[in-house]
């Protein structure tokens, strides 16, 4: 028992004696925020991304490896609006890390600087897995990314004042390239405006809204509720009158229901990356939107 | 005394007013300079704001920018009118119940070879049953502490404080401390609330060794290593109020628990956690009822040391990345307990006391496979080994072994299969079937339970 305490103490002292790392340690909940922190932080940040684009970020295990990353993080970058509510609070609570507690400078929520769509009128779970603060899948509107980038830059500068100028310089450079890219994407996708589409879940709402796609139906009857055979049957009848041009899927979605519907309403499906890393082409944030628009244009040709 | 205070107050007041008077005496020039500085500052602020407005006006039409560009506070569920509800803690309520079909009389259920724990053990009663309703309130107290309480409302119309504890938020260097009544960090399943179990009940080893779950009133300290590998060390002490300990009328700490957990990922698809823990407790007159050879009830009691250790492991394999589509969860724990001390026979009658020594062990292994979204199937095997206790009263020939029917050596086993359907994150319907030989008599009981679990209120978050 005493030798146990002694070795624990020795470990502690060792840990305290380790030199502090120069780069800020950032735990990002999704690959998009991870990519954004890298764009702004450059070599002054060390980013760990908690989830992959093949996961549904609503439901992720609070894995021990993530608790360990939360322990050493200087900054947690989350989407917020209760997207990560099933697991992030556990990571923060178990981390024993006071720097990343909500309300501290080390806790950042992207949703806090955005105005969210689809704020529910009624808070009732019979409506499905709704988010009281609005739709949290904000990353598919690039203008949101630009806004989050600004706030994130301020936060990085606050946490590492010595590199504030470095972050601001990189953010400025990113913003210039980003605004140019938005113009390019908007002109490339101009022909898509008004296209009737079927989505999987309300997580493509921001994309539809940005590109002017007309969302005629969702495969999920209610947020988070998988479709039943009966509901899909009704959908076929409903869509027969005004068929969609394409059914949009995210990389993490199970394609079964979409494929089934695709055959019946004679509209192709397209798998979109949804997040950085969702497709081989979506290597970074620029790749995410390049690939999303390329795939939409290719399928709607 | 009063005059002393008054003098001090006067001095303090004087200290506060003197500089003000000094300022008033300053010349007008410095005031002017300050005013100018303020003016300049506001000028730049206004310019910056104007610039932002122009930027926003030039933003693409149809965007979200024109709606509300300003950061917006999170909407609160409570009324904004200052009715005092904005700081209400997160409230969640879990409702559960079952329908049970049990072949053998559940009144006769017991774990063969183990001293009864007086806990929540066994398959429950026949027919329809209301399970425990768990009401949890949780919130941060201030920047330094959070607090949580779970009250269990039983079908017998009793309220039990299942857990009620505070936890630190701001200790440095990866430390957290917890105090109050809480489930011990011993083992893997001990801390898990019943609604989050993968089967309708606890493994036999938990039922035999802790009467369900080990908790007490006390303190816990945990330290998480600043490494990429998850390494957590913890220690607990308390009043030893629950089985296998007893509350003794003594000052100071009663017993200790030490635990260590290690965990990480193996590739993209596999994550794991392994642990070991040691529980050192004392019992004083830990009574248990038994039936003697003539069928009459009598009370025996154990006094002495009770030491338990456990090794536990859990592994989750998620082949497609998304745990909602497919996931395999494998989990197992092995425990061993040594008890040494005195065993008293018939404390209210003949009251014979002599040495007692036992080494008992048990383990379970279970796998739960999510084979479709919403659907999970599971298999669990339980095994206990009561060992052969050394009872000096028996060894000396004073009493026959049959005087202690509860302590006759036995090897209880159980096999459970379960299937559950989870329409959403907040509801679960489960069917579980057990081949149960907890009595250790090779006379297998068959237990079928159809169970529901519903959660309303705040969205819960569960540990790994």
What is the pTM (predicted TM-score) of this model? 0.84
**Confidence (pLDDT) at A275:** 96
Does B68 score more than 60 pLDDT?
no
Residue B425: exposure state from Cβ atoms within 10 A (0-12, 13-18, ≥19)? middle
DSSP code of residue A53: T
Check CB contact under 8 Å for A141 and B174. no
Mean of pLDDT values over B143-172: 95
Lowest mean pLDDT among A118-122, B252-256, B277-281, B444-448: A118-122
Mean of pLDDT values over B420-427: 93
Six token digits for residue A215: 């969302």
Taking only residues 45 to 74 of chain B, the set having a beta carbon closer than 8 angstroms to any beta carbon of chain A reads 59-60, 62-65, 67-69, 71-72, 74
Check CB contact under 8 Å for A96 and B171. yes
Check CB contact under 8 Å for A98 and B71. no
> How close, in Å, is residue B98 to chain A by CA atoms?
23
Q: For residue A110, what is the nearest residue in chain B, using CA coordinates?
A: B71
Check CB contact under 8 Å for B74 and A97. no
> How close, in Å, is residue B226 to chain A by CA atoms?
6
**Confidence (pLDDT) at B320:** 77
Six token digits for residue A101: 């507690």
Q: For residue B259, what is the nearest residue in chain A, using CA coordinates?
A: A4
The closest CB to that of A55, out of B173, B231, B321, belongs to B321
pLDDT in tens, B208-261: 999 999 999 999 999 999 999 999 999 999 999 999 999 988 898 989 999 999
Residue A240: exposure state from Cβ atoms within 10 A (0-12, 13-18, ≥19)? exposed
Element (H, E) at B288: strand B270-291
Check CB contact under 8 Å for B461 and A89. yes
Check CB contact under 8 Å for A143 and B323. no
Taking only residues 171 to 210 of chain B, the set having a beta carbon closer than 8 angstroms to any beta carbon of chain A reads 171-176
Q: For residue B423, what is the nearest residue in chain A, using CA coordinates?
A: A225
Does B74 score more than 50 pLDDT?
no
Check CB contact under 8 Å for B264 and A132. no
How far apart (Å, rounded) are the C-alpha atoms in residues A119 and B331? 40
How far apart (Å, rounded) are the C-alpha atoms in residues A108 and A62? 19
Check CB contact under 8 Å for A52 and B65. no
> How close, in Å, is residue A92 to chain B by CA atoms?
9
How far apart (Å, rounded) are the C-alpha atoms in residues A77 and A47? 10
> How close, in Å, is residue B306 to chain A by CA atoms?
16
pLDDT interval class at B43 (50, 70, 90): low
The closest CB to that of A64, out of B62, B273, B322, belongs to B273
Helix/strand/coil (H/E/C) assignment for every residue in B353-403: EEEEEEEEEEEEEEEEEEEECCEEEEEEEEEEECCCCEEHHHHCCCCCHHH
Check CB contact under 8 Å for B75 and A143. no
Query: Which residues on chain B are in Cβ contact (under 8 Å) with A132?
Result: 75, 77
Does B23 score more than 60 pLDDT?
no
**Confidence (pLDDT) at A204:** 92
- Three-state SS for A287? helix
> How close, in Å, is residue B424 to chain A by CA atoms?
7
Mean of pLDDT values over B401-426: 94
pLDDT in tens, A46-73: 999 999 998 889 889 999 999 999 999 9
Query: Which residues on chain A are in Cβ contact (under 8 Å) with B77?
Result: 123, 132
Annotate B404-430 with DSSP letters as a single string: -GGGS----EEEEEEEEEEEETTEEEE
Mark residue B6 as left, alpha or beta (left: phi above 0; alpha: psi -120 to 50; beta: remaining): alpha
Residue to mutate among A30, A68, A140, A224, with most B CBs inside 10 A, is: A68
In contact, B102 and B447? CB cutoff 8 Å: yes
Buried b (16+ CB within 10 A) or exposed e, A145-180: bbbbbebbbbbbbebbeebeebbeebbeebbeebee
| Interface confidence (ipTM) of the complex | 0.87
Does B425 score more than 70 pLDDT?
yes
CA dihedral A177, A178, A183, A188 (to 10 degrees): 100
Six token digits for residue A69: 């990353």
Query: Which residues on chain B are in Cβ contact (under 8 Å) with A128?
Result: 424
**Confidence (pLDDT) at B70:** 39
How large a percentage of chain B has pLDDT more than 90?
A: 71
How far apart (Å, rounded) are the C-alpha atoms in residues B371 and B312? 25
> How close, in Å, is residue B164 to chain A by CA atoms?
16
In contact, A55 and A252? CB cutoff 8 Å: yes
Q: For residue B230, what is the nearest residue in chain A, using CA coordinates?
A: A68
**Confidence (pLDDT) at B355:** 96
Residue to mutate among A98, A101, A121, A231, with most B CBs inside 10 A, is: A98
The closest CB to that of A56, out of B228, B324, B462, belongs to B324
Six token digits for residue B153: 């409302």
Q: Which residues contact B123 (CB under 8 A, 6 or more apart)?
A: B100, B102, B106, B109, B201, B434, B436, B445, B447, B449
DSSP code of residue B320: T
Give, in order, the Cα–Cα distances in Å from B114 to each of A56, B110, B257: 45, 9, 22
Give, in order, the Cα–Cα distances in Å from A218 to each of A214, A215, A230, A246, A267: 11, 8, 14, 12, 14
How far apart (Å, rounded) are the C-alpha atoms in residues B66 and A131? 23
Six token digits for residue B41: 């500052």
> How close, in Å, is residue A117 to chain B by CA atoms?
9
Query: Which residues on chain B are in Cβ contact (under 8 Å) with A103?
Result: 143
Query: Which residues on chain A are in Cβ contact (under 8 Å) with B265?
Result: 63, 65
- Write down the mean pLDDT value for chain A: 91
Both ends of chain A: CA-CA distance in Å? Answer: 72
Q: Does B271 touch chain A (CB under 8 A)?
A: yes
Check CB contact under 8 Å for A1 and B258. yes
pLDDT interval class at B65 (50, 70, 90): very low
Lowest mean pLDDT among A6-20, B88-102, B158-172, B421-435: A6-20
**Confidence (pLDDT) at B301:** 95
Does B59 score more than 60 pLDDT?
no
pLDDT in tens, A8-29: 555 555 554 444 457 999 999 9
Check CB contact under 8 Å for A112 and B169. no
Check CB contact under 8 Å for B174 and A96. yes
How far apart (Å, rounded) are the C-alpha atoms in residues A36 and B266? 27
Six token digits for residue A136: 């949290």
Residue stretches of chain A with pLDDT short of 70: 1-21
How many Cβ pairs within 8 Å bridge chains A and B?
Answer: 166
Annotate B126-172 with DSSP letters as a single string: SEEEE-PEEEEEEEE-SSSEEEEEEEEE-TTS-EEEEEEEEEES--S
Rg (CA), chain B: 31
pLDDT interval class at B268 (50, 70, 90): confident
pLDDT in tens, B124-144: 999 999 999 999 999 999 999
pLDDT in tens, B284-325: 999 998 887 777 889 999 999 999 999 999 999 998 778 888
**Confidence (pLDDT) at A17:** 47
Six token digits for residue A55: 């996961």
């Amino acid at each position: 028992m005493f030798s146990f305490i002694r070795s624990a103490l020795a470990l502690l002292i060792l840990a305290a004696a380790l030199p502090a790392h120069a780069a800020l340690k950032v735990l990002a909940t999704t690959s998009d925020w991870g990519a954004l922190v890298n764009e702004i932080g450059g070599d002054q940040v060390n980013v760990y991304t908690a989830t992959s684009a093949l996961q549904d970020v609503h439901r992720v295990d609070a894995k021990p490896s993530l608790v360990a990353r939360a322990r050493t993080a200087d900054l947690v970058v989350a989407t917020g609006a209760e997207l990560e509510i099933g697991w992030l609070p556990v990571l923060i609570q178990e981390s024993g890390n006071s720097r990343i507690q909500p309300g501290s400078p080390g806790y950042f929520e992207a949703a806090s600087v955005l105005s969210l769509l689809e704020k529910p009128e009624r808070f009732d779970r019979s409506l499905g897995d709704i988010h009281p603060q609005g739709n949290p899948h904000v990353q598919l509107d690039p203008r949101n990314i630009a806004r989050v980038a600004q706030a994130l830059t301020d936060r990085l500068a606050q946490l590492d004042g010595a590199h504030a100028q470095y972050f601001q310089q990189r953010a400025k450079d990113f913003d210039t390239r980003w605004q140019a890219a938005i113009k390019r994407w908007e002109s490339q996708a101009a022909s898509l405006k008004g296209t009737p589409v079927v989505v999987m879940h309300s997580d493509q709402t921001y994309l539809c809204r940005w590109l002017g796609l007309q969302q005629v139906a969702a495969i999920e009857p209610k947020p988070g509720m998988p479709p039943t055979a009966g509901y899909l049957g009704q959908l076929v009848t409903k869509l027969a009158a005004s068929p969609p041009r394409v059914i949009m899927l995210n990389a993490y979605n199970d394609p079964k229901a979409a494929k089934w519907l695709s055959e019946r309403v004679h509209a192709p499906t397209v798998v979109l990356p949804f997040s950085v890393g969702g497709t081989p082409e979506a290597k970074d944030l620029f790749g995410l939107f390049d690939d999303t628009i390329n795939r939409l244009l290719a399928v709607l040709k | 005394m009063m005059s002393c205070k008054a003098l001090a107050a006067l001095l303090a007041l004087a200290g506060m007013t003197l500089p003000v008077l000094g300022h008033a005496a300053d010349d007008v020039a410095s005031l002017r300079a300050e005013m100018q500085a303020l003016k300049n500052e506001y000028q730049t602020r206004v310019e910056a704001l104007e610039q932002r407005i122009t930027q926003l006006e030039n933003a693409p039409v149809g965007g979200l920018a024109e709606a509300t560009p300003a950061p917006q506070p999170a909407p609160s569920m409570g009324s904004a009118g200052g009715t005092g509800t904005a700081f209400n803690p997160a409230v969640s309520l879990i409702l559960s119940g079952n329908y049970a079909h049990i072949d053998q009389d559940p009144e006769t259920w017991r774990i063969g070879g183990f001293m009864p724990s007086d806990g929540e053990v066994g398959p429950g009663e026949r027919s329809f049953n209301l399970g425990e309703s768990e009401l949890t309130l949780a919130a941060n107290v201030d920047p330094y502490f959070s607090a949580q309480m779970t009250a269990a409302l039983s079908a017998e119309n009793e309220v039990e404080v299942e857990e009620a504890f505070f936890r630190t938020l701001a200790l440095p260097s990866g430390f957290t401390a917890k105090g109050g009544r809480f489930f011990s960090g011993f083992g893997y399943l001990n801390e898990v609330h019943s609604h989050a179990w993968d089967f309708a009940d606890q493994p036999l080893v938990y039922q035999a060794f802790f009467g369900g779950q080990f908790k007490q009133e006390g303190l816990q300290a945990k330290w998480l290593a600043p490494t990429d590998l998850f390494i957590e060390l913890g220690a607990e002490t308390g009043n030893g109020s629950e089985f296998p300990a007893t509350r003794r009328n003594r000052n100071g700490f009663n017993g200790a628990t030490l635990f260590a957990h290690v965990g990480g990922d193996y590739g993209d698809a596999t994550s794991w956690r392994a642990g070991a823990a040691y529980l050192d407790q004392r019992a004083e007159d830990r009574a248990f009822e038994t039936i003697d050879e003539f069928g009459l009830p009598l009370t025996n009691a154990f006094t002495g040391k009770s030491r338990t250790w456990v090794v536990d492991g859990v592994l989750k394999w998620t082949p497609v990345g998304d745990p909602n589509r497919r996931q395999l969860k494998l989990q197992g724990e092995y425990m061993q307990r040594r008890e040494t001390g005195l065993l008293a026979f018939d404390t209210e009658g003949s009251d014979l006391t002599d040495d007692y020594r036992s080494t008992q062990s048990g383990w379970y292994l279970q796998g739960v496979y999510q084979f479709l979204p919403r659907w999970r199937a599971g298999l669990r095997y339980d095994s206990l080994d009561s060992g052969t206790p050394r009872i000096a009263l028996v060894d000396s020939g004073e009493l026959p072994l049959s005087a202690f029917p509860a302590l006759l050596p036995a090897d209880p086993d159980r096999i459970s299969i379960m299937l559950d359907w989870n329409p959403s994150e907040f509801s679960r319907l489960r069917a579980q079937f057990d081949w149960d030989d907890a009595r250790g008599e090779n006379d297998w009981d068959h237990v079928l339970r159809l169970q529901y679990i519903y959660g309303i209120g705040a969205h819960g978050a569960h540990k790994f």
